[in-house]
């Protein structure tokens, strides 16, 4: 009888030890998983002005907006592309249903805002057409060339800031000219002006 009791006690002790082993193993595995996740290095944010994929996606999503119903998008005036603390794209388009209405749109956090009617009284509704450019003729990816040229020139002149933060698509109806205009390059005691042709070549580079 005594032997039987001892055997049962041994089995219970063994089972208890096994439970503790598995519990410790689970705790160890969990702690390792936490440690592994803690050491994951977040992917650095890419400058929107140098991100071809993001720019291409923005254009695709603009054309696909249900408000246009598959109709060609007509951009009114200029387009502003920003990086910095608030990466975004801002532009105006002609309403697909009412030709004398202009909508204001903003692309931020990978989505376009709902159109807002531009009620600026200074806009002459009778002269909208000369300021329109088909979206199909504006290549958002070309912003990358302008931004990279800006970065190169900024480094050449030892600019105070060398990270591209603003590029604009400009349409000048009177001159029948389209080009990319960049932010001014600031150096100690001087400013520089850079404009880029739509083919990626420099149009103007001068000290102001």
3-state secondary structure 150-198: HHHHHHHCCCCCCCCCEEEEEEECCCCEEEEEECCEEECCEEEEEEEEC
pLDDT tens for the chain, residues 1 to 208:
434 433 344 433 434 444 443 444 444 444 444 444 445 555 568 999 999 999 999 999 999 999 999 999 999 999 999 999 999 999 999 999 999 899 999 999 999 999 999 987 566 667 899 999 999 999 999 999 999 999 999 999 999 999 999 999 999 999 999 999 999 999 999 999 999 999 989 999 999 9
pTM: 0.78
* In the chain, domain spans: 1-40, 48-207
- How would you label 47-63 residue by residue, b for 16+ Cβ within 10 Å and e otherwise? bbbbbeebbeebbeebe
Q: What pLDDT does residue 14 have?
A: 39
């Amino acid at each position: 009888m005594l032997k039987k009791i001892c055997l049962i006690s041994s089995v219970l002790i063994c089972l208890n030890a096994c439970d503790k082993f598995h519990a410790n193993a689970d705790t160890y595995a969990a702690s390792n998983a936490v440690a592994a996740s803690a050491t994951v290095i977040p992917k650095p944010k890419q400058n929107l002005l140098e991100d071809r994929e993001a720019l291409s996606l923005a254009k695709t999503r603009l054309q696909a907006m249900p408000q246009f119903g598959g109709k060609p998008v007509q951009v009114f005036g200029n387009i502003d592309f920003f990086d910095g603390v608030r990466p975004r794209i801002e532009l105006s388009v002609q309403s697909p249903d009412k030709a004398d209405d202009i909508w204001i749109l903003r692309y931020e956090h990978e989505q376009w805002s709902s159109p807002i009617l531009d009620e600026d009284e200074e806009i002459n509704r009778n002269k909208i057409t000369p300021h329109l450019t088909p979206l199909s003729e504006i290549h958002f990816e070309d912003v990358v060339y302008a931004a990279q040229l800006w970065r190169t020139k900024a480094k050449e002149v030892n600019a105070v800031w060398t990270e591209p933060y603003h590029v604009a698509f400009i349409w000048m109806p009177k001159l029948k000219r389209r080009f990319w205009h960049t932010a001014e390059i600031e150096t100690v005691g001087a400013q520089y002006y850079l404009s880029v042709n739509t083919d990626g070549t420099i149009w103007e580079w001068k000290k102001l």
